[in-house]
Amino acid sequence: MFTSPYEGYPEQEWLGITQQLVNDFPLSNEVLISIVESAWEDIYSSSLGSSQLKIGQDIFLPAQATGVILEKLIAMILVNQYDGWRGSQAKHEKDIVCSFNDRYSFEIKTSSSKSGLYGNRSTGHRSDNRLKYRTGYYLVINYKLPTEDDLNRQIWKIRFGWIDDEDWLGQKKPTGQQASIGAKLASLKLITLKHYP
């Protein structure tokens, strides 16, 4: 598990620390943007079955399914174009694994909210015997999904930065199924790589 790079620094310095973390990352901002955009287009250029059903025209996926497919496509683009990267192969691994330095392995979070950042209930739950530590780099993608009533689709925002395990707040109700990052914290610990009009 990694120590938080923000530990011991006042909050007013966090944005600068985040910028340095993003600058230090081995894939450039332009590469990350390009990979996300390519994966997004791949989803909607795909067809299924002998009927050639198109996602976004004939089939309308919920946000969670879209996020799973996007993550897998991002992993495959990285595997095919950049040495030292692969998708997760075990529960304890991050979504994208950097084989030459695990510090650069990262999680992918997607949302159909314009700016929200959410995880499942386990993201906000911390225990000593958990399999996965989530402290580290995060790629966050917010998008508008097409629907039967509105076929328009677009990426709203791509962000990148560092989130610590302790940043995730689980819902207070024991039955709550979601954890989230507050807007203020997200603004300090995530850099917007691209904002789409």
166 falls within a domain: yes
Print the domain residue range for 162.
11-195
- In this prediction the pTM is 0.90
79 falls within a domain: yes
1 falls within a domain: no
What is the model's pLDDT at position 46? 87
- 172 pLDDT band, cuts 50/70/90, is low
Beta-bridge mates of residue 85: 98
Judged against a pLDDT cut of 60, whether residue 178 lies above it is answered with yes
4 falls within a domain: no
Judged against a pLDDT cut of 90, whether residue 125 lies above it is answered with no
35 falls within a domain: yes
CB 108 within 8 A of CB 136: no
- 60 pLDDT band, cuts 50/70/90, is very high
2 falls within a domain: no
Q: In this prediction, what percent of the chain has a pLDDT beyond 90?
A: 77
Judged against a pLDDT cut of 80, whether residue 21 lies above it is answered with yes
52 falls within a domain: yes
**Any idea what the CATH number is for the domain that residue 92 is in?**
3.40.600
- 163 pLDDT band, cuts 50/70/90, is very high
- 177 pLDDT band, cuts 50/70/90, is low
6 falls within a domain: no
Q: State how far the Cα of 169 lies from the Cα of 181, in Å rounded to an integer.
A: 6
pLDDT tens digits, 126-157: 455 555 678 999 999 999 999 999 999 999 99
Tally of domains in the chain: 1
Mean of all residue pLDDT scores within the chain: 90
Q: State how far the Cα of 58 lies from the Cα of 134, in Å rounded to an integer.
A: 36
Interval 85-109 mean pLDDT? 96
- 122 pLDDT band, cuts 50/70/90, is very low
In this structure, of 39-53, 129-143, 174-188, the range with the lowest mean pLDDT score is 174-188
